[in-house]
Amino acid sequence: MGRIIGIDLGTCNSCMAVLENGKPVIIPNKEGKNTTPSIVTFNKDGSIDVGETAQRKAVLQPERTSVSIKRTMGSDFKLSIDGKDYTPQEISAMILKKLKTDAEKYLGEKVTEAVITVPAYFNDAQRQATKDAGRIAGLDVKRIINEPTAAALAYGLNTDSSETIAVYDLGGGTFDISILDIDDGVFEVLASNGDTYLGGNDYDEIIVEFIKKKLKKKYRYTPDAIGKERIKNAAEKAKRELSIKQVTEVRIPYLTDKVSLEMSVERVELEVMSSSLTNRTIKIIEKTIKEAELNEVDKIILVGGSTRMPLVFTALKNFFKKEPLKCVNPDEAVAIGAAIEADKLSGSCQLALTGKSDIVLLDITPFTLSTNLTNIGKAVPVIRKNSSIPCKNTVVFYNDFHDHTNVGVYQGESERYKENIKMGEINLPHPWSELGSRKVSITFSVDTNGIINATAKDLQTGKDMSCKLNFNSRMSDLQIEESKRKVLLLESK
């Protein structure tokens, strides 16, 4: 059996790591880079490119290219290319397959098992979709772990003190904040929140709009698909430059034969235009500190490429009244943490051999899971937000049911079940001969991957009638095999 590798499957960039001689190391890709752009482009000859090559080709064939597919995980989004539809799981699998192949080349052995990270705030459908993407790519996903928790493991490698830390992870597409207590190798997540639609992409979008306004005003020009792609690239480049400069020039020559753009953007302009985004992250931190029942944290750890923006550093410094730390590599810490967990799961525990204490990870579920079995529209919490995982809880209802009981499973914090997100339902039939008042038990459980299961049982009849919750986002073995063939077909051409 080969080693289990750690994979950070990012919105913009993915990264892999593994334990070697008792130390986590990054696995470079075939191009020799530590991170791989999470981009897939579908060529007209039926082949695909993944990573850097895809990024280069994206400008020429934007409508045949998938970027930020992670933002659609768990949804029914489909990318249609040449009359064929591709799901987010299939496209993510194409990225994972490249990573797997590159890792095999680097390690000189087959890679069949992985720990994959997801944003802490990913819901069940998004986690399940990530697991399925792994299966399509031929990877047995041993565990799904939360990105900020993984980053905390990487940070913990170099500290022996006991402390509370806040991990602020602002990547390309998602924002996560987790507060952890680290004590003698035990990493306990106290509270976690986030926004799966808030990241560097949104800051880019603000500069894109700024540029577009200028183009419209000056040239009455509205960009086509290729123009849009060029503007997006220029905006991202400008954003990066503003992390080291106060002002930058944006140059996009020959958008048409009459339109060439040249303009400058100042750091302070970006700061003002994007302040509502940055403030959103601060509001989420406030809530998380409250939930962790703390007044302050000892350290603030920055993770994710977007934390390179000085505006993030300043906002955090103002809020916490202390400077956040740039002590882990913002692009690699999550993969390193995944490799540490992978090492532990593999049983080889190479870290322990180097004198590090055994690592215990106590993570939580970021949402309240409730059901709707009252007549007054109230959500009945079965598992509360911030419960340690794995966890399981049962509630019992007495009610006048008819020939079946319909149990809804909801995620969210509202007291009214209709305001929460419905994740699925169980239809529990009751035999006709046994109609009348019912006693029904409902059990929800969340496993170490953050994946939910729900069962309902008719206690009145004494019969063991339990149904498994059937989320429509979960792929069957047959569907996985079909997707595997579909992905294989693209590569072999």
Ligand X SMILES: Nc1ncnc2c1ncn2[C@@H]1O[C@H](COP(=O)(O)OP(=O)(O)OP(=O)(O)O)[C@@H](O)[C@H]1O
End-to-end CA distance of the chain: 30
Burial class (CB in 10 A: 0-12, 13-18, 19+), 82: exposed
Tell which positions 174-213 bind Mg ion, by CB under 5 A: none
**The one among 10, 227, 424, 450 contacting Mg ion by CB under 5 A:** 10
Active site residue 236: no
Nearer to Mg ion, 10 or 51 (CB): 10
**Rounded CA separation 246/50 (Å):** 34
- Which residues, numbered 49-88, are part of the site for ligand X (CB under 6 A)? 70
Q: How far is the CB of 358 from ligand X (least distance, A)?
A: 28
| Residue 188 interacting entry, from Mg ion, ligand X, none, C-beta within 5 to 8 Å by type | none
Of these, 128, 146, 201, 346, which contacts ligand X (CB under 6 A)? 201
Write down the least CB distance from residue 1 to ligand X, Å: 29
119 is a site residue for Mg ion (CB under 5 A): no
Site for Mg ion in 157-176 (CB under 5 A): 171
CA distance 318 to 248: 26
Q: Considering the candidates 49, 70, 90, 97, report the single residue annotated as catalytic.
A: 70
**Nearer residue to ligand X within complex by CB, 10 or 337:** 10
Shortest Cβ distance from residue 323 to ligand X (Å)? 18
**Cα(311)–Cα(306) distance, integer angstroms:** 10
User: C-beta of 45: minimal distance to Mg ion in Å?
Assistant: 32
Number of chain positions touching ligand X (CB under 6 A): 22
Does residue 193 bind ligand X (CB under 6 A)?
Answer: no
Between helices 477-492 and 88-107, what is the axis angle to 10°? 60
Rounded-to-integer distance, Cα 271 and Cα 305, Å: 17
Site string for ligand X, 223-242 (x = CB under 6 A): -------------x--xx--
* Identified binder of ligand X from the candidate list 134, 194, 199, 412, rule CB under 6 A: 199
**189/335 with CB nearer ligand X:** 335
- Comparison of 200 and 408: residue with beta carbon closer to ligand X: 200
Query: In terms of Cα–Cα distance, which of 181, 38, 186, 184 is closest to 99?
Result: 38
The single residue listed with the structure tokens 């794995």 is 390
Q: Is position 183 annotated as part of the catalytic site?
A: no
Q: Of 102, 124, 147, 181, which residue is the catalytic one?
A: 147
243 binds ligand X (CB under 6 A): yes
Residues paired with residue 121 on neighbouring β-strands, in sequence order: none
239 binds, among ligand X, Mg ion, none (CB under 5 to 8 A by kind): ligand X
Whichever of 171 and 337 has its CB closer to Mg ion, that residue is: 171
Nearer Cβ to ligand X, position 15 or 379? 15
> Residue 245: helix, strand or coil by DSSP?
coil
Q: Which of residues 115 and 440 has its CB atom nearest to Mg ion in the complex?
A: 115
Are 103 and 5 in contact by the 8 Å Cβ rule? The answer is yes
Catalytic: 147?
yes
Binding-site string for ligand X from residue 7 to residue 26, where x marks contact by CB under 6 A and - marks none: ---xxxx-------------
Structure tokens belonging to residue 61: 């064939």
Map residue 173 onto helix, strand or coil: coil
Q: Which stretch binds ligand X (CB under 6 A): 169-177, 215-223, 291-299, 394-402?
A: 169-177
Give the three-state DSSP class for 170: strand
Catalytic option among 8, 90, 341, 425: 8
Least gap, CB of 88 to ligand X (angstroms): 13
Compute the least distance from the CB of residue 11 to Mg ion, in Å.
7
Cα dist from 466 to 261, 300, 429, 458, 462, whole Å: 64, 45, 10, 7, 11
**Strand partners of residue 41:** 49, 65
269 catalytic? Reply is no
- Helix extents (H) in 80-160: 88-107, 124-136, 147-156
Look at residues 386, 193, 319, 239 and name the one whose alpha carbon lies nearest to residue 250: 239
Complex with ligand X: residue 156 or 194, whichever CB lies closer = 194
Could you tell me if residue 447 is left (phi over 0), alpha (psi between -120 and 50 degrees) or otherwise beta? beta
User: In whole angstroms, how far apart are CA 101 and each of 27, 43, 49, 137, 440?
Assistant: 11, 20, 13, 10, 49
Beta bridge partners of 85: 80
Q: CB–CB of 450/176 below 8 Å?
A: no
Strands 452-458 and 436-446, how do they pair? antiparallel
Q: Are 484 and 94 in contact (CB under 8 A)?
A: no
264, β-bridge pairs: 249
Phi, psi angle pair for 259, to nearest 5°: -115, 115
Site for ligand X in 292-351 (CB under 6 A): 304-306, 308-309, 331
**Least Cβ distance, residue 241 to ligand X (angstroms):** 8
Binding mask 172-191 for ligand X (x = CB under 6 A): xxx-----------------
Q: Of these partners, ligand X, Mg ion, none, which one is at the site of residue 70 (CB under 5 to 8 Å by kind)?
A: ligand X
Q: Least distance in Å: CB of 278 to ligand X? A: 12
Give the binding site for Mg ion (CB under 5 A).
10, 171
The residues annotated as belonging to the active site are 8, 70, 147, 169
Give the binding site for ligand X (CB under 6 A).
10-13, 70, 171-174, 199-201, 236, 239-240, 243, 304-306, 308-309, 331
